[in-house]
Amino acid sequence: MPATSPVILILGAGPHIGQAVARTFTSKGYKVALATRSLNEADSTDSQLNIKSDFANSDDVVNAFDKVKKVFGIPSVVVYNVSASTLTPPKDPFALPLADFNRDVSINVMSAFVAAQQAALGFAQLPASAARTFIYTGNILNVGIIPGFLAQGVGKSAGAHMMWAASAAYKDRGFKRYYADERKQDGTAKYRVDGEAHAELYWGLAEEKVQGPWMQMFVQGVGYKRFDGQYGV
């Protein structure tokens, strides 16, 4: 039977953000499900479920939700921590092969949409006391240009719009949706992001009872910070 502990599903459990978030939520009493290509399912424990997933295939997203629901129960927190980017020449963004562009968009957008959709179906079955929080790990590319990152910029922009729209649409139902973007103190892009800072922010967002600013720009050691010139905050 599914456990009574709250459950978090982290889609994309890399060694930095994903693992830091997993450690934090485990320490708070959550059961943790990690969906990624690299972990061994046989290494799952009573408190951690490993799910082999390739997010170029959105069916793997549905499979991850089905598995965690069967083993642990419906996740009340879902983190989409997946990103794909095929680099292009900085001066020739349309040199990107269509096949690579399609794959990156499938990972950054299509599978993220399916994850958000599956999360909403689950949240509707949870009590109002549950966290019911979906977080998309983003970056500055939804409001800025970094040469060479066309496909990821398209993906992050779409992910941000999904979270913006969903934060308004589901607000009255108590479902929270966020786009997280770690910045430097001056508001510029931070390329070497901090996993623990993400984990701290994500825990706080899960604990909040109501929807906060959907675009969660934040600074390590400071937390959420609004920067002038940004939209939707």
How many whole angstroms separate alpha carbon 107 and alpha carbon 194?
Answer: 22
Phi and psi at 135, nearest 5°, equal -125, 125
Sheet holding 7-11, edge to edge: 48-52, 31-36, 7-11, 77-80, 133-137, 176-183, 215-219, 223-224
Closest CA to 61 of 119, 2, 105: 119
In the annotation, is 156 catalytic?
yes
For the record, the structure tokens of 24 come out as: 């934090």
Give start and end residues of each alpha helix (H) in the chain. 17-27, 58-71, 98-105, 111-123, 150-169, 195-207
Name the nearest CA neighbour of 52 among 67, 63, 36, 65: 36
Distances (CA, A) of 143 to 10, 160, 227: 25, 9, 12
Of 31, 69, 156, 190, the active-site residue reads 156
Count the alpha carbons within 13 Å of 143 in the hemisphere toward its beta carbon. Answer: 21
Instruction: Give me 216's structure tokens.
Output: 């969660």
Catalytic residues: 156
